[in-house]
C-alpha cells in the first residue's frame, strides 16, 4: 500500500456517501466526519506464524484464500510500538527454542499512552524453560508477556494495558484486559468519545447504558448525568469496567452483568433477576439511553425499549443494522445529530453515531 492521502480522501468520501444514503429516508442531517491517521493507527494486531526455510515468520491470510500465507516483516497500519516490537520479538524467538517451539500465534496490544502487551500462543504445555525465556523477553522489551496453551494461561507482568484518553478536558484512565474487546483505533476512539460527550450534553436526569464493555463511554458520559445504570454481559469486561470506574473516581454508576435482552425483561417486569437484587429500578429518572451494540444491532425488543427514552445516543459499527433500527424508531424519534468515525481506514468498515430525540 502507498497510503496516498488522495486515495484515502476518496475512500472516506465513499463512506460518507454510503452513510448519507442509508440515513436519507430519515431526513438525517449532514454527518460530521472524523478521519483517521493514514498509518500507525491500529493499536492491536494478531498474526499467525508460518514456518518457511527453517524460520517462523509473521503471517496473515486474505479473506478469499485461507491457505496461502502473506508473510509480513512490518505492519504499517499498526502502531509505531507494534512495529518496533515485531522485529525484536522475531529475533528473540529465533534465538530461543524455548520461545519458538510450537509457537503458532502472536498478539500485540498497545495504547496511545505507550503501554504494551504480547500474547504468545502455543501447541504445547509451558514449562520452566519457557518461563525463564519469557521472563527475560518481558524485561528486554519492557512489556507484559502472556503465554497461552491449551487450557492454561501464564502472565508475566500485568494481564492488561492502560490507556489514557482526554474527553471534555479531563483525562480518563482505562484498563484494557488481554482478550477483551477494545477499540482498535485509539485516535478515532478519542474523537468518538468527545462527540458522544458533546451530543449528550449536561443533564439533570439519569442515563441507561447498554453494552458498556470496559466502560469506554461510561466514564465520560457519567460526568454529564445524575447517575447511570450500565449493563454488560462479558465478565472480563465487567471487571475491567469496575476497575476503571474506581480508578477514575466515578461513583455515580451502577453496573450490572446482564445482557440487553435480560435488562429489557427486567424493566418490563417480565421476570426478576438475582443480579438486580438491591437495585431499585424505579428510582431512576431515565432521560437518555446510550447503546453501542454488536454488528447485528439491537434486537427488536431492545430497540423497542429504547423508544421509551427522550434521547437515544447510538454508536454503531454496522451502518446497515443502524438504519434498520432507526426504521423501527423513526415514527417517534428523529435524527438530530449524525457522525462518521473512520475507525477502519483502507477497509469498507466504519463506525457511525446518531442522536435521536423524541418528536
Residues labelled catalytic: 317, 351
- 3-class secondary-structure state, position 268: coil
Concatenating the DSSP letter of every residue in 62-80 gives ETTEEEEEEEES--TTB-H
Q: Which three cell numbers stand for residue 298?
A: 439491537
Residue 172 contacts residue 219 (beta carbons within 8 Å): yes
CA distance 282 to 45: 44
Q: Write the DSSP assignment of 173-191 as a string of letters.
A: EEEEETTS---SBHHHHHH
5 SS3 class: helix
Cα–Cα distance list, 350 to 27, 44, 291, 346, 359 (Å): 20, 17, 16, 10, 28
Q: Rg of the Cα trace of the chain?
A: 22
Amino acid at each position: 500500500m502507498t497510503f496516498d492521502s488522495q486515495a484515502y480522501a476518496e475512500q472516506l468520501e465513499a463512506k460518507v456517501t454510503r452513510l448519507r444514503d442509508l440515513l436519507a429516508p430519515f431526513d438525517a442531517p449532514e454527518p460530521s466526519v472524523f478521519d483517521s491517521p493514514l498509518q500507525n493507527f491500529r493499536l492491536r494486531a494478531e498474526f499467525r506464524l508460518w514456518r518457511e526455510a527453517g524460520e517462523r515468520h509473521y503471517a496473515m491470510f486474505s479473506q478469499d484464500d485461507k491457505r496461502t500465507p502473506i508473510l509480513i516483516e512490518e505492519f504499517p497500519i499498526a502502531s509505531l510500538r507494534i512495529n518496533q516490537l515485531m522485529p525484536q520479538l522475531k529475533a528473540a524467538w529465533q534465538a530461543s527454542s524455548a520461545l519458538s517451539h510450537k509457537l503458532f500465534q502472536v498478539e500485540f496490544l498497545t495504547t496511545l499512552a505507550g503501554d504494551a502487551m504480547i500474547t504468545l500462543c502455543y501447541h504445547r504445555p509451558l514449562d520452566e524453560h519457557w518461563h525463564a525465556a519469557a521472563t527475560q523477553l518481558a524485561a528486554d522489551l519492557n512489556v507484559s508477556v502472556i503465554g497461552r496453551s491449551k487450557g492454561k494461561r501464564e502472565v508475566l507482568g500485568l494481564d492488561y494495558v492502560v490507556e489514557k484518553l482526554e474527553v471534555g478536558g479531563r483525562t480518563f484512565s482505562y484498563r484494557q484486559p488481554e482478550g477483551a474487546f477494545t477499540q482498535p483505533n485509539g485516535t478515532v476512539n478519542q474523537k468518538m468519545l468527545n462527540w458522544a460527550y458533546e451530543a449528550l450534553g449536561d443533564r439533570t436526569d439519569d442515563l441507561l447504558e447498554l453494552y458498556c464493555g470496559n466502560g469506554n463511554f461510561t466514564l465520560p458520559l457519567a460526568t454529564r448525568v445524575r447517575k447511570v445504570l450500565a449493563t454488560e454481559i462479558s465478565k472480563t469486561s465487567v471487571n475491567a469496567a469496575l476497575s476503571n470506574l474506581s480508578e477514575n473516581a466515578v461513583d455515580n454508576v451502577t453496573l450490572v452483568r446482564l445482557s440487553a435482552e435480560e435488562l429489557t425483561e427486567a424493566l418490563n417486569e417480565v421476570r426478576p433477576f438475582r443480579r438486580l437484587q438491591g437495585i431499585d429500578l424505579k428510582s431512576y429518572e431515565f432521560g437518555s439511553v446510550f447503546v453501542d451494540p454488536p454488528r447485528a444491532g439491537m434486537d427488536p425488543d431492545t430497540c423497542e425499549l429504547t423508544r421509551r427514552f427522550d434521547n437515544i445516543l447510538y454508536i454503531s459499527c454496522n451502518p446497515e443494522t443502524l438504519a434498520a433500527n432507526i426504521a423501527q424508531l423513526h415514527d417517534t424519534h428523529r435524527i438530530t445529530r449524525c457522525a462518521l468515525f473512520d475507525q477502519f481506514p483502507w477497509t469498507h468498515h466504519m463506525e457511525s453515531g446518531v442522536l435521536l430525540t423524541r418528536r
